[in-house]
Amino acid sequence: MSEQKAPIIVKRIKKVAGGHHGGAWKIAYADFVTAMMAFFLLMWLLGSTAKGDLNGIAEYFKTPLKVAMQGGSGSGDSSSVIKGGGTDLSRKSGQVKKGETVNERKSYNLEAAKAELERLEAAKLKLLKGRLEAEIDANPTLKQFKRQLLLDITTEGLRIQIVDEQNRPMFKLAGAELQPYTKIILREIGKVLNDVQNRVSLSGHTDATPYSNAGRGYSNWELSADRANASRRELVVGGMDEKKMLRVVGLASSVAFNQAEPFDPVNRRAAPSGAK
Mean pLDDT within 176-202:
88
Dihedral sign (CA 43, 44, 46, 47): positive
- CB contact at 8 A, 186 and 248: no
Higher pLDDT, 134 or 52: 134
Average pLDDT of span 171-192? 87
Other Cβ atoms within 10 Å of 162 Cβ, number: 24
Closest CA to 235 of 276, 199, 187: 187
DSSP 80: B
Strand positions, DSSP E, the chain:
149-153, 157-162, 200-205, 245-250, 269-275
Q: How confident is the model at residue 241 (pLDDT cuts 50, 70, 90)?
A: very high
**Calpha distance 90→98 (Å, rounded):** 15
pLDDT of residue 68: 55
pLDDT at 177 over 60: yes
Share the mean pLDDT of the chain. Answer: 78
**pLDDT value for 160:** 87
Residue 155, pLDDT score: 81
**Distance from CA of residue 81 to its chain's centroid?**
32
For 150-159, 209-218, 233-242, 251-260, which range has the lowest pLDDT when averaged over its residues?
Answer: 209-218
Residues 5 and 256: their CA atoms lie apart, in Å, by 142
Residue 75 pLDDT > 50, yes or no?
no
State how far the Cα of 205 lies from the Cα of 173, in Å rounded to an integer.
Answer: 12
Of residues 212 and 161, more confidence is placed in 161
pLDDT at res. 161: 86
Picking from 12-21, 128-137, 160-169, 205-214, which range would have the lowest pLDDT averaged per residue? 12-21
**Residues pairing with 178 in the sheet:** 171
Q: Is the pLDDT of residue 105 over 70?
A: no
Tell me, what's the pLDDT at 245? 92
| pLDDT value of residue 76 | 46
pLDDT at 226 over 70: yes
Q: What is the pLDDT of residues 13-35, one digit of tens each?
A: 665 555 555 667 888 888 888 99
| Cα distance between residue 207 and residue 117, in whole Å | 36
For residues 138 and 157, give the distance between their C-alpha atoms in angstroms, rounded to a whole number. Answer: 23
Q: pTM of the entire structure?
A: 0.55
Cβ atoms of 200 and 244 within 8 Å: the answer is yes
Is residue 55 over pLDDT 70? yes
